[in-house]
Structure 1
Amino acid sequence: MPTSLPNQATEGEGARTISYAYKASLISSAHQFELTDAGLSWKIGRRSGVWPYADIASIRLSYRPMSMQARRFRADIARAGGGRIAILSTTWQTVSLMTPQDQGYRAFIAELHRRMRAAGSKASLIGGIGTVTYATAVVMLTLLAIAMIGLLARALATSEFTGALFLVGISVWFAWTIGGFIKRNRPRRYSFDALPETLLP
């Protein structure tokens, strides 16, 4: 039976150490992270390091669903002077099972922001996808909506009610999935005191 990766808080000599881990793929080793007194400690395969909280240059939170897991969130963290790591809210357990780790991910990300603020961080806090990518997605979604409306009108005009019903079903599904992705990932800035709820599980 698959078991979850350890995501927990432990008491140390100073502030408590909070850990989080996930597997990005079934065959990869676990990506392991800890919030320590010294900073954000990470280990990915053979690579490892500790980034002082004040050295973190930016955090981007986004919603990244996949076909096997609709509730999937991501934090991209960059360090001043170079270096970037990603933290995902899901982990692979079997060839067909990607498991959400909502509580552990949310607690880890919230505590990371708290410690960065306490360290006097000046990091850029960004929510959603890039502005250009978002604008392109909105334009494509608008063009697709116009095309779907045209096809629906044609189907109704020619009494193709089965086709019209199919188009309505596709439109509802598309609005639910793609529309939700676009809405959650609207580009924005946020503060340490107000993390974007739509980009956290």
Structure 2
Amino acid sequence: MPDPSEGLVYAYHPRLGGAGVRLALEGEALEWLVGPREGRLRLADIARLTLRFQPAKFASASFEMEILGRDGSRLVAASASRTSLTAVRDQGQDYARFVRALHGALADACVPVECRGGYGRARWGLMVALGAAAALGLLVVVGFALWQGQWSTAGLIALLSAIVGWPTAETLVRNRPLRYQLAALPAHLLPG
């Protein structure tokens, strides 16, 4: 296996107590280990890469790369490892190095890969519509509370709306559907 300092090996734990994931670029293939299962996916057999931003879970946002093989196989790498019930270890620099190395290896091998960013159009559109409806509803509630002279209630609802609205808006902005080229990774979908 390659030396991790070269940025060609990446390992993380997606769930506390769950199986770890290890991905390694080895020549013309991506070797993977997920718990007790292991395999080898030739670079030429990678059909699609999808980069996403994952909203905060216990105050720690992360990034994710989904790798789909032409045979239907699916591998996922994320920029954070779960270390306890409420804590995660940020591995953003190592994750970004591995993502760039994989994209570079695919470009060098001239593999025709579909590169996507964010959510699918239908999911993203539904999230935007529901978010806008929720924001409008909360605005009406705050307005009604102000009209009734309930200043503290209006302030509390407005504060809680901002606390929930900010990460929701960031998720929608970062995960807008897009296509990109192997040599032009979208910076907003990588840590940094």
TM-score where L is the length of structure 1: 0.88
2:168 corresponds in structure 1 to 178
1:146-179, Cα deviation, whole Å (9 max, x unpaired): 1111112111111111111112212221221111
1:9 corresponds in structure 2 to 5
1:34 aligns with 2:35: no
Structure 1 unaligned segments of length 5 or more: list them: 1-6, 11-16
1:135 aligns with 2:125: yes
Alpha-carbon distance in structure 1 between the residues aligned to 2:162 and 2:145: 17
* Match 2:104 to one of 108, 114, 117: 114
Alpha-carbon distance in structure 1 between the residues aligned to 2:182 and 2:45: 16
For the aligned residue pairs, the C-alpha RMSD in angstroms reads: 1.5
| C-alpha distance 43-69 of structure 1, shift in aligned 2 (>3 A) | farther
Q: Percent identity?
A: 26
Alpha-carbon distance in structure 2 between the residues aligned to 1:153 and 1:198: 35
User: After the TM superposition, which residues 88-103 of structure 1 pair with which residues of structure 2 at under 5 Å, given as runs?
Assistant: 88-103=78-93
Deviation, structure 1 residue 94 = 2.9
Q: After the TM superposition, list the runs of 4 or more consecutive aligned residues in structure 1 that deviate by more than 3 angstroms.
A: none
1:54 corresponds in structure 2 to 44
3-state SS of the aligned residue for 2:8? strand
2:62 corresponds in structure 1 to 72
1:23 corresponds in structure 2 to 13
3-state SS of the aligned residue for 2:181? coil
1:159 aligns with 2:155: no
Residue identity in the other structure for 2:171: F
Alpha-carbon distance in structure 1 between the residues aligned to 2:118 and 2:161: 24
Deviation, structure 1 residue 96 = 3.3
1:3 corresponds in structure 2 to none
Deviation, structure 1 residue 69 = 4.4
Alpha-carbon distance in structure 2 between the residues aligned to 1:89 and 1:159: 46
Aligned partners of 1:30 and 1:44 also within 8 Å: yes
Alpha-carbon distance in structure 1 between the residues aligned to 2:74 and 2:139: 43
Alpha-carbon distance in structure 2 between the residues aligned to 1:136 and 1:95: 31
Alpha-carbon distance in structure 2 between the residues aligned to 1:116 and 1:26: 32
3-state SS of the aligned residue for 1:42? strand
Aligned partners of 2:55 and 2:167 also within 8 Å: no
3-state SS of the aligned residue for 2:110? coil
